[in-house]
Structure 1
Amino acid sequence: MESTHEPAEPVAKGTFATAKQSFGDLFRWRQRREVLNADGEVHTEWAVPVPLKNPISLMAQLSAKDWVFFIVGFTAWTADAFDFHSLSIQQVKLAHFYGRTKTDISTAITLTLLLRSVGAAIFGFAGDKWGRKWPMVVNMVVLGLLQIATLYCPTYGAFLGVRALFGLFMGGVYGNAIAMALENSPVDARGLMSGILQQGYSFGYVLAACANLGVGGSDESWKKVFWAGAGLSIGVGIIRAFFPESQQFIEARKAGKQGNIASRFWAETWQMLRQEWRLCIYCIILMTWFNFYSHTSQDNYTTFMVTQKQLNNSGASRASIIMKAGACVGGTIIGYTSQWFGRRRTIVVAAIVSACLIPAWILPTEERSLSATGFFMQFFVQGAWGVIPIHLNELSPPAFRSSFPGITYQIGNMISSPSAQIVNAIAESHLIRAPNGKMVEAYGPTMGIATAIIATGIAVWTALGPEKRGRHFERSMPAGMNIGHELEAKQLDLEAGDIEAKRVESAQHLEQDKRTVE
């Protein structure tokens, strides 16, 4: 963001005042920005986005160490998604294996999502207090072991129990992964890197679908996919153990007071909750909408193609792979665009376009058509999601960039946890006629109506919320080290923004002088 040095109204305080101001700002190209003047006073100015830079040049701004942290975070998020979707895309196989309905099997998805919020709190706070490294190592190794344990569940009840534990450890991955991957990313590269990072989730789905295609459609073949997921998770955990702690976390801890103790950590946590409770509630509801958005549009899509569209396992798997390839492309491109177009504006447009695509998404009957429309549907669904990692990171209280995104994301997951189960229950209780004349479960209409409602909810809720695009939080100290230094922490954040604005302005003047000379 580049400051215009033109005064703006202060950032609104209070729920309704913030919503009113945020909705109005959605239609302004400029963005409000708090800056620190020479007298140490905070005032609000208008800032405008700088033009998008070549993505190759943006990625070149990351050092080799930054790339290592980003790749490990991306791979952890990919493994997390692979493990989760190993179950969701094989619901039909597991229903046959355990002699249960697809709704019964999707109970395991509900339990996994319910427990993820608990894991997000435990491992998120651990990441903010002790660093990103070892909480992630524990997460990934235990996830792999629980994936193996799933293979040896003799009964449906044991299967549900293991998947509930799986959710507990799965919840800790997201917050630590995105904090580690994005916190050292240069400011103007964050939109692009956020979009790429979020697509680790879609890439995990693609890998799981490829594995499902490779093992065939027999009732026992689901176990091979779970073995692959276990190896991926444990491998990421072992690799992470050989890399150092986040350099930013180390430097921030050194800069803080050495007397940091648990009581100060929790004191600052409660202080943050008292001050930012509105933001916490807003982000939880936002992530509830988003998790309904993704789970409703993707978890039952393979089941939809097998049951309603009467495709075989190979055809449904190929269509799923192409669908999530669209998610990878869309998330990267749209996340990158948000750096210039705005976080909220990008999400709103992507959600509205996805709602308009719903008829083309559920009405085709052939594999090719389903693959094409699925590609474009997920291009915009995950395109909106591609903005979320950096949007949550920028909204987060600076000292809680590991716990805040992870907890709000996973609580949203917990609230939306029955989404796949609800779709299964409604679809199985209503029958429609398939292209071959057979009466089948109504997955298409159920998913279409639900997704239309959810996309509308996302567009409205995002339009009423805050945005802090381009915020600088790199010099903030870890949680527990800011007690008594709130003003200093605020000044660091604002000063960093001023420094960046001056750097951009100086670079533009140099470029203008160069053109004049030429």
Structure 2
Amino acid sequence: MDEDQNHQRVIRPPQFTSKAIKHYLKTRFTELIPSKEEMKANKHLLNPFKPLTQMTAKQWNFFGIAFWGWTLDAFDYFAVSLNVTNIAHSLDRSTKDITWGITLVLMLRSVGAIIFGYLGDRYGRKWPFIGNLILLSVLQIATGFINTYKQFLGVRSLFGIAMGGVFGNAAATALDDAPADARGVLSGIFQQGYAFGYLLVVIFQRAITDTTAKGWRSLFWFSSGLSVIFIVWRAFLPETDAFIRHKQQTLESTEESSNKRFLIQAKQALKTYWLIMIYLVILMAAFNFMSHGSQDLYPTMLTNQLNFDQNQSTLTNSLANIGAIVGGFFFGWSTNFIGRRFAIIICCIGGGAMIYPWAFVRNDGINAGVLFLQFFVQGAWGTCPLHLSELSPPHFRSFVTGVSYQLGNLASSASSTIEAAIGERFPIFIEGKEDVYDYAKVMAIFMGCVFVFLLVVALFGPENRGADLNAESLID
């Protein structure tokens, strides 16, 4: 990227003059789709795999550990979602009570994002990441030993804090050193660590929970062991080159001057990026409403409302995550040509069209509905790691991406509880079963509203497509 191009992508403090506001609103439409010149300049990216050949072994290791860390985060989270009914039975509580455990995790992830985001930007990506994984491992073990509802809520609350720190440091580790041409595809692949984690937990749910004496508890103990592999892997890797360069440029010889410099940079970033930070929280709230609203209660709907057996539920949930992985890769790559915002808008329209077969088809066609709905849901998500990184302050990328993501999680934390609570207003009579509710109707209405909300947020939001993530300062 030449100097003139990079200067055009410098983030400047917002102006609230009528002229500036009119210009901004106008460009939300005129700049929605990249120009022919921009598309032509990216023609060499038509083959999504060619840019990946620029990756070195060291860069692949950084991306690999980040991907698997994010995968493990999703695995640990969805272990509860898939076992809502089982945990409710073990603790003698209702489905709605157990979904509060999911809500608490989402609410407290922002705390972890603040703590580990600060540590990641101040002291490096490596050890905060390792600390995250150690905490996840310990708390997964503890979840397997809980015997009361209070213990369940307490452990999951702590778990939310630990989980909250993963995304920011993992995204920074995955993309900081990656070649610019490869970032669109890598962003899509990285984000689908979330869907891949869900797919893995669906498979191991069938292999472990449904076949062992300890049931769902065994699944949590198994996941705690997975963390050890990635802790050792990350321990053998150095800091990212981007963080090392940042540290060499900004930290002085004494700790006192280092802290002073860090605070000066934080003040400057806040002055310039405050409005974008607010926007990112709203954007990520919309994204998290979309993913949690379509995923968290869906396994319960399949088994409780549609009476799917274990094999049918496993197949449907697996297809959902296969669609998600393909969608994330496809739209992560396509943003090189159609832009971040336009890709999100396309996914909202496509996802909206899939709501009916996803929620209301009662034959094998539901599998196609869930596959394509998650193709669009996670296709939109495939743009997020890079989109967030491009809009974040260079010196605080781990903090801003992680905190905005998790504050969005906080805003959407009650998604499954809202759906479960409203669902109880629509009871269904099925002979031989109690407490059956029309979750499909509630989720369909919920998702329709969310797709419209995200479309509007993306349409009128900023975009900093092509920003140099290795630049030490993009503040004017």
- Tell me the TM-score normalized by structure 1: 0.84
Equivalent in 216, 226, 229 of residue 222 of structure 1 = 216
2:264 maps to 1:264 = no
Q: Which residue of 1 aligns with 2:333?
A: 336
Corresponding residue pairs, total:
464
Alpha-carbon spacing, 1:9–1:103, altered in 2? closer, same or farther (3 Å)? closer
SS, match of residue 429 in structure 1: coil
C-alpha distance in 2, partners of 1:300/1:383? 20
SS, match of residue 449 in structure 2: helix
By how many angstroms is 1:340 displaced? 1.1
2:30 maps to 1:30 = no
2:292 maps to 1:300 = no
Verify the 8 A CA contact 2:209 2:219 in the aligned structure 1. no
Q: Which residue of 2 aligns with 1:174?
A: 167
Alpha-carbon spacing, 1:9–1:104, altered in 2? closer, same or farther (3 Å)? closer
Verify the 8 A CA contact 2:144 2:218 in the aligned structure 1. no
2:450 maps to 1:454 = yes
Verify the 8 A CA contact 1:22 1:463 in the aligned structure 2. no
RMSD: 2.6
2:309 maps to 1:312 = yes
Amino acid in the other structure paired with 2:141: I
Q: Which residue of 2 aligns with 1:395?
A: 391
Verify the 8 A CA contact 2:389 2:469 in the aligned structure 1. no
Verify the 8 A CA contact 1:22 1:465 in the aligned structure 2. no
Hey, which bits of structure 1, 4+ residues long, moved more than 6 A?
1-5, 7-12, 434-439
By how many angstroms is 1:50 displaced? 1.7
Verify the 8 A CA contact 1:334 1:386 in the aligned structure 2. yes
Equivalent in 240, 243, 265 of residue 246 of structure 1 = 240
Q: Which residue of 2 aligns with 1:124?
A: 117
Equivalent in 183, 193, 201 of residue 200 of structure 1 = 193
Verify the 8 A CA contact 1:216 1:314 in the aligned structure 2. no
By how many angstroms is 1:469 displaced? 1.0
Q: Which residue of 2 aligns with 1:385?
A: 381
Cα displacement string for residues 135-184 of structure 1 (whole angstroms, at most 9, x for unaligned residues)? 00000011110000111112110110010001111100000000000111
By how many angstroms is 1:24 displaced? 2.1
By how many angstroms is 1:416 displaced? 0.7
Alpha-carbon spacing, 1:82–1:388, altered in 2? closer, same or farther (3 Å)? same
Equivalent in 262, 271, 275 of residue 272 of structure 2 = 275
2:320 maps to 1:327 = no
Q: Which residue of 2 aligns with 1:84?
A: 77
By how many angstroms is 1:14 displaced? 3.3
Verify the 8 A CA contact 1:216 1:313 in the aligned structure 2. no
Which deviates more from structure 2 when the two are superposed, residues 71-80 or residues 146-155? Answer: 146-155
Q: Which residue of 1 aligns with 2:231?
A: 237
**Equivalences for residues 456-471 of structure 1 within 5 A:** 456-471=452-467
Verify the 8 A CA contact 1:22 1:464 in the aligned structure 2. no
By how many angstroms is 1:88 displaced? 0.8
**Equivalences for residues 347-386 of structure 1 within 5 A:** 347-366=344-363, 368-386=364-382
By how many angstroms is 1:430 displaced? 1.4
C-alpha distance in 1, partners of 2:11/2:252? 34
SS, match of residue 431 in structure 1: coil
Cα displacement string for residues 113-148 of structure 1 (whole angstroms, at most 9, x for unaligned residues)? 111001001100111111100000000011110000
Amino acid in the other structure paired with 2:154: G
Equivalent in 54, 60, 69 of residue 62 of structure 2 = 69
C-alpha distance in 2, partners of 1:348/1:435? 43
Verify the 8 A CA contact 1:93 1:217 in the aligned structure 2. no
Cα displacement string for residues 181-224 of structure 1 (whole angstroms, at most 9, x for unaligned residues)? 01111112111000000000000000111111113548941111
By how many angstroms is 1:30 displaced? 2.6
Q: Rg bigger for which structure? A: 1
Q: Which residue of 2 aligns with 1:50?
A: 42
**Equivalences for residues 477-516 of structure 1 within 5 A:** 489-490=473-474
SS, match of residue 122 in structure 1: helix
Alpha-carbon spacing, 1:3–1:28, altered in 2? closer, same or farther (3 Å)? farther
Amino acid in the other structure paired with 2:42: V
Which deviates more from structure 2 when the two are superposed, residues 51-60 or residues 21-30? Answer: 21-30
Q: Which residue of 2 aligns with 1:472?
A: 468
Verify the 8 A CA contact 1:58 1:188 in the aligned structure 2. yes
C-alpha distance in 2, partners of 1:211/1:23? 45
Kindly indicate which of the two structures has a greater share of residues assigned to strand: 1
2:412 maps to 1:419 = no
**Equivalences for residues 95-134 of structure 1 within 5 A:** 95-134=88-127
Q: Which residue of 2 aligns with 1:14?
A: 15
Identity of aligned residues (%): 38
Structure 2: runs of 5 or more not aligned = none
- Tell me the TM-score normalized by structure 2: 0.92
Structure 1: runs of 5 or more not aligned = 32-45, 477-488, 495-518
SS, match of residue 46 in structure 2: coil
Q: Which residue of 2 aligns with 1:514?
A: none
Equivalent in 182, 185, 196 of residue 189 of structure 1 = 182
SS, match of residue 436 in structure 2: strand
SS, match of residue 254 in structure 1: helix
Q: Which residue of 2 aligns with 1:34?
A: none
Verify the 8 A CA contact 2:427 2:438 in the aligned structure 1. yes
